[in-house]
Amino acid sequence: MECPYKRITHDPCPFCGIIHDAQSVFQGTYTSKSAINPISIIVFYIVIVEGVLRFGVILLYKKLKHIKIIMCGDALLHSIGFLVYVGYIVYYCFFKNALSMSL
């Protein structure tokens, strides 16, 4: 399946290669030199931490006394993550090519 962004612009999108890198991780062949997208390993760590935390909250839901604080913290972390995601997209789409052209 071809990336729609790449098909239209003929440039790789910020997320091109993450699926290929994920396959490499699960096959045990992932190395930093073979990574197609440098953000892949960050995405993998975030997914693992997110899964562990969600599973822990599900298991301990009735025992947790401060569930509102945990939920607010979760919303805050996701808001920060979303802002980082948007910042990465804006940088990649608007500034990366402009900076490389000026050099």
Are the C-beta atoms of residues 22 and 40 closer than 8 Å to each other? yes
pLDDT tens, N- to C-terminus, the chain (103 residues): 567 777 787 877 777 777 778 778 778 887 767 777 777 788 888 888 888 888 877 787 777 777 778 778 888 888 888 888 788 777 776 776 555 555 4
DSSP assignment of the chain? ---HHHHHHSS--TTTTHHHHHHHHHHT---TTT-SSTTHHHHHHHHHHHHHHHHHHHHHTTT-S-HHHHHHHHHHHHHHHHHHHHHHHHIIIIIHHHHHHH-
User: Residue ranges per domain, the chain?
Assistant: 4-102
| Cα first-last separation, the chain | 34
